[in-house]
Structure 1
Amino acid sequence: MNWHDIFATRMSRMKASEIRELLKLLDQPDIISFAGGIPDPALFPVKAFQAALADALSPVNSSSALQYSVSEGYGPLRDWIVGQMATLGVPCSRDNVLITSGSQQALDYLGKLMLSPGDTALVNWPTYMGALGAFNAYEPNYDRLSPGGNRSAEDYAQTAAEHGGRVKFAYASVDFANPTGETLDLRQRENILDLADEMDIAVIEDSAYQSLRYDGEPIPPMLALEIARKGSIEECRTLYCGSFSKTLAPGLRVGWVCGAASVISQLVLMKQAADLHSSTINQMAINTVARALFEDHTAKLRQTYASRRDAMLAALQEHMPEGVNWTRPEGGMFIWVTLPKHMDGGALLRSSLETQRVAFVPGQAFFADRSGANTLRLSFSLADDAKIAEGMKRLGQAIRAAG
């Protein structure tokens, strides 16, 4: 049987994640990897989760923990998120929160909710490749989001119409973005909200790294800025996607969407159709651990990751040849490197693995149009200072050899 003849046309847009493939390299002990943007497992609050899971499986709680549950998510966890959103300037209620299987599922649902084939999504250039993967299934076009306000609403609308659809939303990773590590400043956030109001489109705010700020002053989420403008979350077009994957434990796959109840109710229908609800026992464990130690634990993460970021910035300064540039993030897990224009990150990876045994992610995968060949992403979250120093030394040697 020729399966490809019966696959939906959307499958032509779905490609294997280059990061997922690179994660297989972590099993090779001689590889120094800056590829996977994943938390350091040595920092997981293991004992807290052991106690939380034991409590969930106690005689009092086990019948709930192991049973079907409501699609909206575990009530006490949604209440904790409501409190957390309030600290960010987002007053809301349970009805404004849906628990998802990581924020990745939230992106998939939002793409499914809003994109028809031929519609346009506005994204950063580069942007999170997982967002492109989620949206690709719904066969959109992409256009370059300009947070600086350099393009008019009319220009965006005309370009979308020429491609057979309309602009449906602007997607942005706002704090310490994956892959660049860059943060949208207050004016850029306001510009996106202005554009969304003018075009009558949604805003998807990806805030997976919001809790991992090491330097500088916090900037309000776009949802908070919009509520300040309009008075109520129910009047807002911004949908905030949060996650426990970078703060507590990615393996439990717990994230959330916060937005107007009218949108959340539609996402609940998708949740019911897709998987009924996220794992109840995982939500219960996350709720217990978050209530017990979220602030103290994220403070520990910030201290550790900030030190590793500083070590990588210092090593880049010491070992990179002339013509190589990089970002200087105030938080998150990533540094974005721009190579001389004639160089190719994919080719550099192949040679680096062969000669230097250093891994990273070539930048091209983060561009909707597959441009940016002369870029790469480095993650500092997993490596200690010694590995960072040695890895940047080897990477510098690989770049010089390729130049």
Structure 2
Amino acid sequence: MALQQMFAGRTERMKASEIRELLKLLDQPGITSFAGGIPDPDLFPADAFTDAFAQALSPKTQSVALQYSVSEGYLPLRKWIAGQMAKIDVPCDPENILITSGSQQALDYLGKLFLSPQDTALVGWPTYMGALGAFNPYEPVYGQLSVNGNRSAEDHAAQAKADGGRVKFAYLSADFANPTGETVDQRGRESVLELAEALDCAVIEDAAYQALRYDGDPVPSILALELARKGDLEACRTIYCGSFSKTLSPGLRVGWVVAAKPVISQLVLMKQAADLHSATINQMAICTVAESIFDSHVQTVRNVYSERRDCMLAALEMHMPEGVSWTKPQGGMFVWLTLPAHMDGAELLDVALDTEKVAFVPGKAFFADGSVANSLRLSFSCASPEMIQDGIRRLGRVIRATM
């Protein structure tokens, strides 16, 4: 019996993550990797989590930690998140918050919530590869999201109708985006809100990197800007997705969604159907650690990553040949390189691994239509300054030889 012949048609749009596949190649000795966009494990607050799990498993709380729980999430954690949201001018109730298994699960649920086949999802060009992976099974058409208003709502609506659906949401990471590291300025965020109003669609704000600002002035979140306009979270169309993966721990898989209560209520039903609730003990541990050391720990992370970012930008300036350009992020984990038009990032990777043992992520996979090949993503989060300096020197040598 060939069961694969009975798979649903949507599975044809489910593809392996190029990054996950690439990481399998990096066990070779001597590889300098700028590929994985992951936190440095040396910065995880392991001692704090050891104490937090011991506390959760104490006789007083172990029955809660090890038992089924509510789908909405651990209430003390949702209250703590509500306090953090208030600090960025988004006052909300715990009832406006759903705890998810990382923000990746939130993106999957939001794709399921909004997208029917042939509906349009507006995304960046390039955009987060994981978002495309989350949305793909729901069979959308992708449109290019402009944050500078150079394409009208009428154009988007007409194209979506021609494709057989309507525009359902605009998705973007406005702060230090994966993969480019770029930040959308306030006017660009206002432009996205204006477009969403004209199209009567949702805005999905992926704030996974928002806490990792190293310099420059903070920009209000899209949800904060909309709330300032409308005065009531229940009237807002923006859905905010947060995560502890880049600040405390990715392995515990704790993220959250902030939105109007009708949106949260529907997402709760999806959570109940999918996995009932996120692991209670993980939520308890995250809550304990966040309440005790979040601000000081995040500042430590910022200090380390800021130094590595500065080192990478300086190395690029020193070693990249003429014709290569790159972003200069104010935070996050990534720098985006644009190569001369005739070059292909995937072909360059093969040469770089073979001759210089340097790894990165080719840029093509971050475009919904796979149309732009002359780009690549570099991550500085897990490389020491010495590794960065040497690895960028070798990468520059490969690029120069391939031009």
Q: TM-score, normalised by structure 1?
A: 0.99
For residues 358 and 263 of structure 1, the distance between their equivalents in structure 2, rounded to whole angstroms, comes to: 44
SS of residue in 2 equivalent to 1:248: coil
For residues 168 and 174 of structure 1, the distance between their equivalents in structure 2, rounded to whole angstroms, comes to: 19
- Give 1:90's aligned amino acid: V
Offset at residue 300 of structure 1 (A)? 0.5
**Does residue 359 of structure 1 match 2:359?**
yes
For residues 377 and 291 of structure 1, the distance between their equivalents in structure 2, rounded to whole angstroms, comes to: 34
Offset at residue 23 of structure 1 (A)? 2.0
Offset at residue 28 of structure 1 (A)? 2.7
1:61 corresponds in structure 2 to 61
Preserved contact between residue 25 and residue 31 of structure 1 (Cα < 8 Å): no
Offset at residue 371 of structure 1 (A)? 1.3
Offset at residue 186 of structure 1 (A)? 0.2
2:299 corresponds in structure 1 to 299
Q: Which runs of 5+ in 1 are unaligned?
A: none
1:73 corresponds in structure 2 to 73
- Within 5 Å, give how 1:192-203 maps onto structure 2: 192-203=192-203
SS of residue in 1 equivalent to 2:216: coil
1:262 corresponds in structure 2 to 262
Offset at residue 4 of structure 1 (A)? 2.9
1:112 corresponds in structure 2 to 112
Offset at residue 182 of structure 1 (A)? 0.2
1:394 corresponds in structure 2 to 394
Offset at residue 5 of structure 1 (A)? 1.7
Offset at residue 402 of structure 1 (A)? 1.5
- Within 5 Å, give how 1:254-293 maps onto structure 2: 254-293=254-293
For residues 25 and 209 of structure 1, the distance between their equivalents in structure 2, rounded to whole angstroms, comes to: 26
1:92 corresponds in structure 2 to 92
**Does residue 321 of structure 1 match 2:318?**
no
**Does residue 126 of structure 1 match 2:126?**
yes
For residues 120 and 221 of structure 1, the distance between their equivalents in structure 2, rounded to whole angstroms, comes to: 24
For residues 233 and 122 of structure 1, the distance between their equivalents in structure 2, rounded to whole angstroms, comes to: 23
1:45 corresponds in structure 2 to 45
Preserved contact between residue 123 and residue 143 of structure 1 (Cα < 8 Å): yes
For residues 36 and 63 of structure 2, the distance between their equivalents in structure 1, rounded to whole angstroms, comes to: 37
1:248 corresponds in structure 2 to 248
SS of residue in 2 equivalent to 1:137: helix
- Within 5 Å, give how 1:111-190 maps onto structure 2: 111-190=111-190
Q: Give a deviation string over 1:133-188, Cα, whole Å, max 9, x none.
A: 00001000000001100111110000011111000000001100000000000000
2:239 corresponds in structure 1 to 239
Preserved contact between residue 196 and residue 202 of structure 1 (Cα < 8 Å): yes
SS of residue in 1 equivalent to 2:182: coil
For residues 180 and 314 of structure 2, the distance between their equivalents in structure 1, rounded to whole angstroms, comes to: 18
SS of residue in 1 equivalent to 2:169: strand
SS of residue in 2 equivalent to 1:99: strand
Offset at residue 232 of structure 1 (A)? 0.9
- Give 1:210's aligned amino acid: Q
Offset at residue 400 of structure 1 (A)? 1.5
Q: Give a deviation string over 1:190-244, Cα, whole Å, max 9, x none.
A: 0000111111100000000000000100001000000000001100000000000
Q: Aligned residue pairs: how many? A: 403
For residues 313 and 153 of structure 2, the distance between their equivalents in structure 1, rounded to whole angstroms, comes to: 38
For residues 367 and 35 of structure 1, the distance between their equivalents in structure 2, rounded to whole angstroms, comes to: 17
**Does residue 331 of structure 1 match 2:357?**
no
Q: Give a deviation string over 1:340-394, Cα, whole Å, max 9, x none.
A: 0000000000111011100000000000010110000000000001000010011
Runs of 4+ that moved beyond 3 A: none
1:311 corresponds in structure 2 to 311
- Give 1:91's aligned amino acid: P
Preserved contact between residue 305 and residue 333 of structure 1 (Cα < 8 Å): yes
Q: Which runs of 5+ in 2 are unaligned?
A: none
For residues 327 and 199 of structure 2, the distance between their equivalents in structure 1, rounded to whole angstroms, comes to: 31
Offset at residue 26 of structure 1 (A)? 3.9
Offset at residue 24 of structure 1 (A)? 2.2
For residues 165 and 391 of structure 2, the distance between their equivalents in structure 1, rounded to whole angstroms, comes to: 46
SS of residue in 2 equivalent to 1:277: coil
Q: Give a deviation string over 1:85-139, Cα, whole Å, max 9, x none.
A: 0001001001100000000000000000000000000000000000000000100
RMSD: 0.7
For residues 160 and 7 of structure 1, the distance between their equivalents in structure 2, rounded to whole angstroms, comes to: 28
- Give 1:243's aligned amino acid: S
- Give 2:308's aligned amino acid: R
- Give 2:196's aligned amino acid: A
- Give 1:197's aligned amino acid: E
For residues 24 and 294 of structure 1, the distance between their equivalents in structure 2, rounded to whole angstroms, comes to: 32
SS of residue in 2 equivalent to 1:143: strand
1:230 corresponds in structure 2 to 230
Identity of counterpart residues, as a percentage?
69
- Give 2:128's aligned amino acid: Y
1:376 corresponds in structure 2 to 376
For residues 77 and 346 of structure 1, the distance between their equivalents in structure 2, rounded to whole angstroms, comes to: 42
* Residue 161 to residue 185, structure 1, CA distance change in 2 (3 Å): same
SS of residue in 2 equivalent to 1:70: coil
For residues 4 and 359 of structure 1, the distance between their equivalents in structure 2, rounded to whole angstroms, comes to: 34
Q: TM-score, normalised by structure 2?
A: 0.99
1:347 corresponds in structure 2 to 347
Offset at residue 25 of structure 1 (A)? 3.5
- Give 1:218's aligned amino acid: P
For residues 387 and 188 of structure 1, the distance between their equivalents in structure 2, rounded to whole angstroms, comes to: 36
For residues 277 and 350 of structure 2, the distance between their equivalents in structure 1, rounded to whole angstroms, comes to: 41
Q: Give a deviation string over 1:251-271, Cα, whole Å, max 9, x none.
A: 000000000001000000000
- Give 1:348's aligned amino acid: L
